[in-house]
A and B are shown apart, each in its own frame.
Chain A
Amino acid sequence: MNKLDNFKAGFIKENPVFALYLGLCSVLAISTTLNNAVGMGVAVIIVLTVSNVIISAIRKVTPSEIRIPVYIVVIATLVKIVEMLIQAYATDLYGTLGIFIPLIVVNCIILGRAEAFASKNNMLDSLIDGIGMGLGYTFGLIILSATRQILATGILNFSNPFTSEMMFEVRLIPADYVISLFSTPAGAFLTFAMIAGALEAYKSKASKKVKEVK
């Protein structure tokens, strides 16, 4: 696998959210607004990339019997640092993400990539894998959140998480035609299932095409 494929894998084929179904707890809970999605996504990209690099760097000295506690210490430390930074510099985001920031510690994408990739590959590949997978997670989260936000409120907006200043706001559906169900947990499951299904259909169609060409 070359470096580009490695990077691209996280987006569609191995998208952690819609193809691997990893880390769904926080995804379903916080995917109500675009702001949440971007904030959570960036937090996960940082934690995933840095933890991948550190775990890859210490993979040769880490005794394999205690590797899981070692990974957890590394990941928990990084998450706590990110949490403190968010609380200090992006208070509004901290308020809306709340408990789901510390829960990144037990997000299986991060431990999964540490175990499946970073512990077996060099630091550069682990860095690329971390960014790719993190972007894939963020990409999935943004699609889910934007869909839910538009269906539930009719508005798509994004505000600067550091200053709370509104950067853009568009109304896509008139207020009389919004479906508030989509902001509820049930709406999260419905939206998730539809997007995952559409992605699966696209993938099977694409693989059929490859076969026909052969």
Chain B
Amino acid sequence: MFKKALHFTVFLALLSGLAGGALAYVNSITAPIINENAIAAEKVNLVKLFPGTSEFAPLEITNDETGFIQSAYTAKDAGIAYKVQVMGYANPIVFMVGISNDGKIVGLEILDLRDTAGIGTRVEDPEFKDNVVGKTTTDPLAALSGATVTSGAVIRGINAAKAHFNDSKGIDDGGGSDDPVTPPLVFGDPVGIFSNATASAPAEILEETTDGDVTTYLVASKGYAVLEGGYEGAKPNVFKIVINTAEKKVVSMELVEFNDTTGLGDKIDHEDFWAQFEGLATDDDSIEIDVVSGATVTAISAARALRGAIGE
């Protein structure tokens, strides 16, 4: 019985060994040709990313934690092209991004995109590409406002390629996040803090605490919901304003309670918007900020809150 089992084992092992040998031999012949075919199929896109380069070699990706990178090719003396697949709004998006050897994103080619026409497809527009191409691998990339799901997915994919590139070249990206940064604000017209626009509906100071030279105000200021929406139970927005009374300067400003339209008015809750307030002189009545396009009324409510905190 034991002898029989041994006989079977040896027979199958021998056969499998022979089979393995045959496969290894055929593989050694066909693998280079298959590789070349794969590059030939991608070459159309590779040349778009690295015009003027004709020598490409496949690059094995081993340390991609995100799993987004499908394949990569080194362009001789030029850089690396990554083929990336990410999940978009409804369907997977396949694209290629080229990174030059000096760490610049040189091209973005969207290969397969089936997201909503007119919204997700905006990642193919120059508006998005210009935002990406030319950046270095350590620059943060912003999603497209209004198409955040699709553009965010593409950026997560680009970030995976950037991370791999930085890793392989030993570039320190400060452990850059995988997520896209919030899109930059589009500012509208400037509005004076002490202009007529802020005079119409005075803000109300809810709380005032002083700690040495620094005074912190909690200010309720009527925004779109109260002034123009006219909803029942509409509430003003509440801002926290910190003012240094000795230097007569605004230290910081933030949104504590938001009661206007979600998706519009809350655009003002952006570092670029708050940065405008920092350092404004409280004894100068010509100070002004730029409102946010699409969130004008809410932005003016912020200006009004500051006026309320500074006082007349």
List residues of chain A with CB under 8 Å of any chain B CB. Answer: 61-63, 65-66, 69-70, 73-74, 76-77, 80-81, 84-85, 87-89, 91
Contact = CB atoms under 8 A, between A and B. Distances in A.
A77 B26 CA distance: 11
B7 A63 contact: yes
A73 B15 contact: yes
A61 B22 CA distance: 20
Given A73-B16, A84-B34, A88-B30, A63 B11 contact: yes
Interface residues of B, number: 18
B23 A77 contact: yes
A77 B18 CA distance: 10
Contacts of A61: 11
Contacts of B26: 80-81, 84-85
A62 B10 CA distance: 12
Contacts, number: 46
Nearest to B38: A91
Interface in B27-68: 27, 29-30, 33-34, 37, 41
A85 B19 contact: no
A85 B34 CA distance: 9
B12 interface: yes
Interface in B253-310: none
A80 B23 contact: yes
Given A77-B22, A80-B23, A81-B26, A69 B34 contact: no
B8 A65 contact: yes
Given A81-B23, A84-B30, A87-B34, A74 B41 contact: no
Interface string B1-26: 00010011001100110010011001
B37 A88 contact: yes
B172 to A, nearest CB: 41
Given A65-B8, A80-B23, A70 B15 contact: yes
Tell which of B12, B29, B30 has the most Cβ of chain A within 10 Å.
Answer: B30
A61 B7 CA distance: 11
Interface string B131-171: 00000000000000000000000000000000000000000
B28 to A, nearest CB: 10
B12 A84 contact: no
Given A77-B23, A87-B30, 18 more contacts: A62-B11, A63-B4, A63-B7, A63-B8, A65-B8, A66-B8, A69-B12, A70-B12, A80-B23, A81-B23, A81-B26, A84-B27, A87-B34, A88-B30, A88-B34, A88-B37, A89-B33, A91-B41
Nearest to B41: A91
Nearest to A70: B15
A12 B37 CA distance: 40
